[in-house]
Amino acid sequence: MRLEKHLKEMINLNNVAEELLEKIKKDCKPFLKQMNIDKPLWRGSKDIVRNDYEKIKPRKDRRPRNTDPDLQVILDNVFNKKFGWKPRSSGVFCGGDKREAETYGNVYSVWPIGNFKFIWSERVSDLFVNFETEIACDCFILHIFWNDKNLTKTKECISKVEENVPKLYTDKNLAKAINSWNEVMIGCKEYYLVNEEVTRLMGEIK
Protein backbone atom coordinates (compact mmCIF):
# COMPACT_ATOMS: atom_id res chain seq x y z
CA MET A 1 0.00 0.00 0.00
CA ARG A 2 2.85 2.40 0.77
CA LEU A 3 4.45 1.72 -2.61
CA GLU A 4 1.13 2.27 -4.39
CA LYS A 5 0.65 5.55 -2.55
CA HIS A 6 4.19 6.66 -3.41
CA LEU A 7 3.69 5.82 -7.10
CA LYS A 8 0.43 7.77 -7.20
CA GLU A 9 2.14 10.77 -5.62
CA MET A 10 4.98 10.60 -8.18
CA ILE A 11 2.52 10.35 -11.08
CA ASN A 12 0.63 13.33 -9.71
CA LEU A 13 3.84 15.35 -9.33
CA ASN A 14 4.86 14.49 -12.88
CA ASN A 15 1.49 15.69 -14.14
CA VAL A 16 1.87 18.93 -12.15
CA ALA A 17 5.35 19.46 -13.58
CA GLU A 18 4.15 18.90 -17.14
CA GLU A 19 1.21 21.29 -16.73
CA LEU A 20 3.34 23.95 -15.05
CA LEU A 21 6.06 23.70 -17.68
CA GLU A 22 3.48 24.49 -20.36
CA LYS A 23 2.26 27.47 -18.32
CA ILE A 24 5.80 28.75 -17.89
CA LYS A 25 6.51 28.40 -21.62
CA LYS A 26 3.41 30.48 -22.31
CA ASP A 27 3.49 33.03 -19.47
CA CYS A 28 7.23 33.53 -18.97
CA LYS A 29 8.47 33.99 -22.55
CA PRO A 30 10.51 37.18 -21.91
CA PHE A 31 12.29 35.50 -19.01
CA LEU A 32 12.95 32.24 -20.88
CA LYS A 33 14.29 34.15 -23.87
CA GLN A 34 16.86 35.98 -21.75
CA MET A 35 17.53 33.06 -19.42
CA ASN A 36 19.16 30.94 -22.14
CA ILE A 37 20.50 28.46 -19.60
CA ASP A 38 19.37 25.21 -17.94
CA LYS A 39 19.72 26.56 -14.41
CA PRO A 40 16.83 28.26 -12.60
CA LEU A 41 16.88 31.17 -10.23
CA TRP A 42 16.45 30.03 -6.62
CA ARG A 43 14.84 31.85 -3.72
CA GLY A 44 14.93 30.95 -0.05
CA SER A 45 11.93 31.79 2.10
CA LYS A 46 10.71 31.00 5.59
CA ASP A 47 7.18 30.99 4.17
CA ILE A 48 5.85 27.60 3.09
CA VAL A 49 4.16 27.22 -0.30
CA ARG A 50 1.41 24.77 0.53
CA ASN A 51 0.83 23.78 -3.10
CA ASP A 52 3.42 22.50 -5.55
CA TYR A 53 3.64 26.01 -6.93
CA GLU A 54 1.96 29.37 -6.47
CA LYS A 55 1.52 32.54 -8.47
CA ILE A 56 2.86 35.41 -6.35
CA LYS A 57 2.54 39.18 -6.56
CA PRO A 58 5.66 40.86 -5.13
CA ARG A 59 5.29 43.35 -2.33
CA LYS A 60 5.91 46.99 -3.16
CA ASP A 61 6.84 47.90 0.41
CA ARG A 62 9.38 45.24 1.32
CA ARG A 63 11.01 45.80 4.69
CA PRO A 64 14.70 44.91 4.85
CA ARG A 65 15.69 41.93 6.99
CA ASN A 66 19.19 43.20 7.76
CA THR A 67 19.80 46.53 6.01
CA ASP A 68 19.06 49.73 7.89
CA PRO A 69 15.74 51.21 6.58
CA ASP A 70 17.32 54.64 5.96
CA LEU A 71 20.07 53.00 3.95
CA GLN A 72 17.50 51.06 1.92
CA VAL A 73 15.84 54.32 0.89
CA ILE A 74 19.19 55.73 -0.25
CA LEU A 75 20.00 52.58 -2.22
CA ASP A 76 16.56 52.50 -3.83
CA ASN A 77 16.90 56.11 -4.94
CA VAL A 78 20.31 55.40 -6.48
CA PHE A 79 19.03 52.30 -8.29
CA ASN A 80 15.93 54.16 -9.43
CA LYS A 81 18.01 56.95 -10.90
CA LYS A 82 20.01 54.52 -13.07
CA PHE A 83 17.55 51.69 -13.77
CA GLY A 84 14.12 53.28 -13.34
CA TRP A 85 12.80 51.15 -10.45
CA LYS A 86 13.40 50.47 -6.76
CA PRO A 87 14.59 46.89 -6.31
CA ARG A 88 15.34 47.03 -2.59
CA SER A 89 11.71 47.71 -1.68
CA SER A 90 9.87 45.99 -4.55
CA GLY A 91 12.25 43.38 -6.00
CA VAL A 92 12.27 39.60 -5.68
CA PHE A 93 15.64 38.48 -4.31
CA CYS A 94 17.05 35.30 -5.78
CA GLY A 95 20.17 33.79 -7.37
CA GLY A 96 21.68 30.82 -9.17
CA ASP A 97 23.17 29.24 -6.02
CA LYS A 98 20.65 26.86 -4.43
CA ARG A 99 22.86 26.32 -1.38
CA GLU A 100 22.87 30.05 -0.67
CA ALA A 101 19.08 30.16 -1.04
CA GLU A 102 18.79 27.37 1.53
CA THR A 103 20.33 29.64 4.18
CA TYR A 104 17.19 31.80 3.97
CA GLY A 105 14.67 28.99 4.42
CA ASN A 106 12.68 26.70 2.12
CA VAL A 107 13.97 26.63 -1.46
CA TYR A 108 11.88 27.50 -4.51
CA SER A 109 12.61 28.37 -8.12
CA VAL A 110 11.42 31.75 -9.46
CA TRP A 111 9.80 32.31 -12.87
CA PRO A 112 8.81 35.94 -13.65
CA ILE A 113 5.56 36.24 -15.61
CA GLY A 114 5.40 38.63 -18.58
CA ASN A 115 7.75 41.58 -18.88
CA PHE A 116 10.32 41.78 -16.13
CA LYS A 117 13.46 43.64 -15.04
CA PHE A 118 16.58 42.48 -13.26
CA ILE A 119 19.71 43.94 -11.66
CA TRP A 120 22.87 42.19 -10.54
CA SER A 121 26.58 42.73 -9.94
CA GLU A 122 29.61 40.63 -10.89
CA ARG A 123 31.45 41.76 -7.74
CA VAL A 124 28.63 41.86 -5.18
CA SER A 125 27.41 38.42 -4.15
CA ASP A 126 25.08 39.89 -1.52
CA LEU A 127 24.62 43.63 -1.08
CA PHE A 128 24.35 43.45 2.71
CA VAL A 129 27.40 41.18 3.09
CA ASN A 130 29.62 43.06 0.61
CA PHE A 131 28.32 46.54 1.32
CA GLU A 132 31.20 48.05 3.25
CA THR A 133 33.97 46.62 1.05
CA GLU A 134 32.48 46.97 -2.43
CA ILE A 135 29.95 49.81 -2.15
CA ALA A 136 31.01 52.04 0.73
CA CYS A 137 34.77 51.40 0.39
CA ASP A 138 35.28 50.38 4.01
CA CYS A 139 33.79 53.55 5.48
CA PHE A 140 31.70 51.40 7.88
CA ILE A 141 28.45 52.99 6.81
CA LEU A 142 26.35 50.41 8.67
CA HIS A 143 28.00 51.32 11.95
CA ILE A 144 27.53 55.01 11.17
CA PHE A 145 23.83 54.68 10.41
CA TRP A 146 23.09 52.61 13.49
CA ASN A 147 25.36 54.16 16.09
CA ASP A 148 26.95 57.38 14.88
CA LYS A 149 25.26 60.74 14.47
CA ASN A 150 28.25 62.31 12.75
CA LEU A 151 26.50 63.98 9.81
CA THR A 152 29.73 64.72 7.95
CA LYS A 153 30.75 61.06 7.92
CA THR A 154 27.25 60.00 6.92
CA LYS A 155 27.23 62.40 3.96
CA GLU A 156 30.63 61.10 2.91
CA CYS A 157 29.36 57.52 2.87
CA ILE A 158 26.19 58.45 0.99
CA SER A 159 28.38 60.04 -1.67
CA LYS A 160 30.30 56.76 -1.99
CA VAL A 161 27.04 54.85 -2.40
CA GLU A 162 25.85 57.24 -5.12
CA GLU A 163 29.21 56.93 -6.87
CA ASN A 164 29.82 53.17 -6.65
CA VAL A 165 26.40 51.52 -7.03
CA PRO A 166 25.93 52.64 -10.68
CA LYS A 167 29.41 51.35 -11.52
CA LEU A 168 28.93 47.92 -9.94
CA TYR A 169 25.42 46.99 -11.05
CA THR A 170 24.00 46.14 -14.47
CA ASP A 171 20.71 45.01 -16.03
CA LYS A 172 22.39 43.00 -18.81
CA ASN A 173 23.12 39.29 -19.40
CA LEU A 174 20.70 37.26 -17.28
CA ALA A 175 22.42 33.94 -18.06
CA LYS A 176 25.71 35.31 -16.73
CA ALA A 177 23.91 36.62 -13.65
CA ILE A 178 22.50 33.15 -12.90
CA ASN A 179 25.88 31.49 -13.49
CA SER A 180 27.61 33.99 -11.21
CA TRP A 181 25.63 32.69 -8.21
CA ASN A 182 25.42 36.29 -7.03
CA GLU A 183 22.27 38.02 -5.81
CA VAL A 184 19.80 38.89 -8.58
CA MET A 185 16.99 41.38 -7.96
CA ILE A 186 13.93 40.75 -10.14
CA GLY A 187 11.19 43.28 -10.87
CA CYS A 188 7.86 41.90 -12.14
CA LYS A 189 4.10 42.08 -11.57
CA GLU A 190 3.77 38.35 -10.87
CA TYR A 191 5.92 35.24 -10.76
CA TYR A 192 5.62 31.50 -10.27
CA LEU A 193 7.20 30.18 -7.09
CA VAL A 194 7.86 26.46 -7.55
CA ASN A 195 8.94 23.90 -4.99
CA GLU A 196 12.23 22.06 -5.41
CA GLU A 197 10.85 18.68 -6.46
CA VAL A 198 8.57 20.07 -9.20
CA THR A 199 11.47 22.22 -10.42
CA ARG A 200 13.62 19.10 -10.73
CA LEU A 201 10.90 17.22 -12.60
CA MET A 202 10.43 20.11 -15.03
CA GLY A 203 14.13 19.90 -15.81
CA GLU A 204 13.84 16.20 -16.52
CA ILE A 205 10.84 16.73 -18.81
CA LYS A 206 12.79 19.23 -20.91
What's the whole-model pTM score?
Answer: 0.86
Is 70's pLDDT higher than 90? no
Please count the other Cβ atoms lying within 10 Å of the Cβ belonging to residue 192: 21
Query: What span, in angstroms and rounded, lies between the C-alpha atoms of 193 and 39?
Result: 15
CA-based nearest residue to 157, from 68, 85, 89, 95: 68
Higher pLDDT, 38 or 52: 52
Q: Which residues contact 103 (CB under 8 A, 6 or more apart)?
A: 44
The domain ranges of the chain are: 2-205
Spatial distance between the Cα atoms of 175 and 139, rounded to a whole number of angstroms: 33
- Decide which of 186 and 59 is more confident: 186
At 173-186, the pLDDT tens digits run 999 999 999 999 99
Task: Kindly report the average pLDDT of the chain as a whole number.
Answer: 84
Q: Decide: residue 199, CB within 10 A, 0-12 exposed, 13-18 middle, 19+ buried.
A: buried
Q: Does the pLDDT value for residue 8 go beyond 50?
A: no
- Predicted pLDDT at 125: 92
Q: How confident is the model at residue 46 (pLDDT cuts 50, 70, 90)?
A: confident
157-167 mean pLDDT: 88
pLDDT band, residue 148 (cuts 50/70/90): low
Q: Which residue has the higher pLDDT, 122 or 132?
A: 122
According to DSSP, the residues that pair with 54 across neighbouring strands are: 193
Question: How many C-beta neighbours within 10 Å does residue 113 have?
Answer: 21
pLDDT band at 159 (very low <50, low <70, confident <90, very high): confident
Poorest-pLDDT segment among 39-53, 61-75, 120-134: 61-75
pLDDT at 66: 67
